A and B are shown apart, each in its own frame.
Chain A
């Protein structure tokens, strides 16, 4: 039972444009949600989080949107930069445990 799903294995965008990464979840008990990015041979790096009682959180170029009725969250990166190329994971958190999606490979082309 995959509680967190990232349905797009990959996404390619042009430098300077917006990147939108999507995530769906089934577990209504998640208290908060997080996005991580991962480069090869490194651990995931925390990007941004959002409480389940909020619908938007912004940090610099990164904005996360949460739609609880649709059980959907998205990460917007504006403007996208070549250094943003990485695998992005969304995760739901509850009871000291994170449940991860399988990731989306973002490629930002110069």
Chain B
């Protein structure tokens, strides 16, 4: 069974640009979550989508946005990039039904570097 796939694996951008990251969940999983990992802050929740609807959102500025498509694939977008956005962005998927209390399974992440 294929795992969570994130593309691209590595990305280099400059300040002020925007970026779109992609995530394909495990087949049959309808929930997709995004996290940012930095050395100082650890793993921080960005947002979660289920059936194309955002169900929860973390404490990030509006420059961070996401969406989910009808096939459960998800994208996240960061506009007006800042140096502090350099991080590993992780996507996780789960079945997502009921109260959502199922394990989330992670991809290997996209390493974003801002110059």
Contact = CB atoms under 8 A, between A and B. Distances in A.
A32 B4 CA distance: 22
A51 B103 CA distance: 11
B64 interface: no
A58 to B, nearest CB: 16
Name the prevailing secondary structure of the B interface residues: strand
B68 interface: no
Contact of B106 (A31, A45, A51, A101): A45
A92 B56 CA distance: 15
A21 to B, nearest CB: 15
Interface string B96-109: 10011101111111
A95 to B, nearest CB: 5
A63 to B, nearest CB: 16
B55 interface: yes
Nearest to B94: A96
Interface stretch (A12-20, A36-44, A66-74): A36-44
Contacts of A89: 43
A32 B108 CA distance: 24
Contacts of B105: 46
Interface residues of B, number: 26
A32 to B, nearest CB: 5
B103 A46 contact: yes
Contact of B33 (A45, A97, A102): A97
A3 to B, nearest CB: 11
Contacts of B104: 34, 46, 98
A75 to B, nearest CB: 14
12 contacts: A31-B101, A43-B92, A43-B108, A44-B90, A44-B106, A49-B103, A89-B43, A91-B43, A96-B56, A99-B45, A100-B42, A101-B42
Interface of A: 31-32, 34, 36, 41-46, 49, 51, 89, 91, 93, 95-103
